[in-house]
Structure 1
């Protein structure tokens, strides 16, 4: 068994030992308690701004609930892209290979996660947040043509950013208990997905030349930019009862939130750099997304 296959087998064994059924694990029946946040306040796009200081605690909680639902909705959108890329990558490959079986296991996980996020967003009292139309169309093209390290590194970017946020939220008693359970399930199961994405990225880059790395580094950074900038939908402010124009203006200039994003991506950027995927052109898009 190769090293690559050994990693996949360990992930399969881990999934068999520790996996969750959100239908049973999450408390879907208890009504939403509006005394709770939807996410740690420090992760709000307005935390630390003058507007945040003026908001009542009720408004702050309403905003973090809408923001958490927006992040979850973006997660669903990208998980659907992820599933299609992985299915296409393993189409007609050896089904006896542990990597093939792990790929199907990951897809099954992502299906459960997407349903879980959808139910969670609905319970938070949020509408169906979606990326902007041009981002949806770019995602449609990306899932159809991305392959190899471009696909798996982009998967890793989306998963790692969400992972850092959710590790904070799942430990925060200010956050609604059912949201904390959702975050815990996702963190535990997504840790295996991230390990696989890192392994696949390294494996696909083995022997890759400079030009290929330059091109794919740029592709991944553009994907990362659109994923991260889609996480907090512009409509969350109006849906939380706030002045949308003022909120957007202050959120855009919020240095605290930019700092939170940069700190969440330190390990990711180190990994991309070690793989030769943190080029000057790629850094431009990571900086625009406040990831570096």
Structure 2
């Protein structure tokens, strides 16, 4: 009887939270086709990512670059970030679709899941249009990479659906929030970031709520598996952000050396650490950040 009451109360609470998110989506959502001025000219003197977020910022290699080379690197890094965003949101939508197959299609939770998937579809289109508008090329995985990305849905189940969502969303979101009002940033890029941040805030709240509700029901083996996946997520995230091909396209002489410099760059690690701080604290509070994961996240600059 007592357990039934708790379960019923938890379901009501979950539905109430999803309903608030649905109302928020009605009040403030965007369509990038009409809410972005795609014909606005780009400013030749502005960056595509704020300098302090660019992976080589603060290194001797950065100091030796001309202003034009720095802006070009920021353009290539933005194209890479947007490409990773498209891969991730594609994968996330597949995971959410699978969740819907075992859920109640009449629930507010299911309805918000569908709403989030619609948001993510528009984000993928916005990212693709932005890559095209800045005259860049997407960083698309080769067949082996596509196979790896597609296979992740096999391993991301249960609590890991929401951990994966948070790792992919929260760190980028925190970095974007720091740069929205940067006067050196291209206005078109700032507008895209503002749209993404506004809608991702609801997605992050949804994922945190779903994960926090699942944790008390996890077995020891599930917690151990989730902690392992959390640990693996850190080096994968840093690897994707320091794609050596973006240094090659930016015209640097030794792309592999540039990637090594970027991965050791204290300024880049500080930027990542600020972005991941809230997520790291949340995962630790939920008991999903083990000692090995914490050590790896610290080594990668995420804590």
Give the shorter-chain TM-score range: over 0.9
Cα deviation per residue 1:28-82 (whole Å; 9 max; x = unaligned)?
1124332111111000111000111111111111111111111110010010110
Give the whole-Å Cα distance in 1 for the aligned partners of 2:17 and 2:279: 20
Out of 114, 118, 126, the position equivalent to 1:104 is 114
**Does the Cα contact within 8 Å between 2:75 and 2:134 map onto a contact in 1?**
yes
Matched, 1:6 2:16: yes
Q: What SS does the corresponding residue of 1:212 show, helix, strand or coil?
A: helix
Q: Which runs of 5+ in 1 are unaligned?
A: none
Aligned residue for 1:71? 81
Q: Is it true that 1:251 corresponds to 2:262 in the alignment?
A: yes
Deviations 1:142-192, CA, capped at 9 Å, x for gaps: 213422211101110110110011112221121111100100000000000
Q: How many residues align?
A: 292
Secondary structure of 2:200's counterpart equals helix
Aligned to 2:6: none
User: Is residue 90 of structure 2 the alignment partner of residue 80 of structure 1?
Assistant: yes
Give yes or no for contact 1:262–1:290 (8 Å, CA) kept in 2.
yes
**Which residue number in structure 1 is paired with residue 30 of structure 2?**
20
Contact 2:59/2:265, CA 8 A, preserved across alignment: yes
Counterpart secondary structure, 1:171: coil
Q: Cα RMSD (Å) of the superposition?
A: 1.7
SS of the residue 2:302 aligns to: coil
Written as runs of structure 1 = structure 2, the 5 A alignment for 1:148-167 is 148-167=158-177
Cα pair 1:218 1:282 within 8 Å, conserved: yes
1:266 maps to which residue?
A: 277
* TM-score of the two chains, using structure 2 as the length reference: 0.91
State the distance in 2 between where 1:215 and 1:175 align.
40
The 3 A distance-change label for structure 1 pair 245 and 85 is closer
CA 1:124 to 1:45, structure 2 compared with 1: closer, same or farther past 3 Å? same
Distance across 2 between alignment mates of 1:191 and 1:261:
19
Normalised TM-score (structure 1): 0.94
In the alignment, is the contact (CA less than 8 A) between 1:158 and 1:224 conserved in 2? no
Maintained 8 Å contact 1:45/1:251:
yes
Q: Is the contact between residue 74 and residue 230 of structure 1 (CA under 8 Å) also seen in structure 2?
A: yes
Which residue does the alignment assign to 2:203?
193
CA distance in 1, matches of 2:161, 2:26: 26
Aligned to 1:144: 154
| Segment drifting more, 11-20 vs 223-232 | 223-232
Report the CA distance between 1:92 and its aligned residue: 4.9
Match of residue 237 from structure 1: 247
Is contact 2:242–2:262 with CA below 8 Å preserved after alignment? no
Larger Cα-atom Rg: 2
The answer on 1:57 being equivalent to 2:64 is no
Kindly indicate whether the alpha-carbon contact (under 8 Å) linking 1:150 and 1:217 is maintained by their aligned counterparts in 2.
no
For residue 286 of structure 2, the aligned residue among 256, 265, 275 is 275
Structure-1 separation of matches of 2:142 and 2:294:
23
Note the residue ranges of structure 2 that are not aligned, 5 or more in a row.
1-10
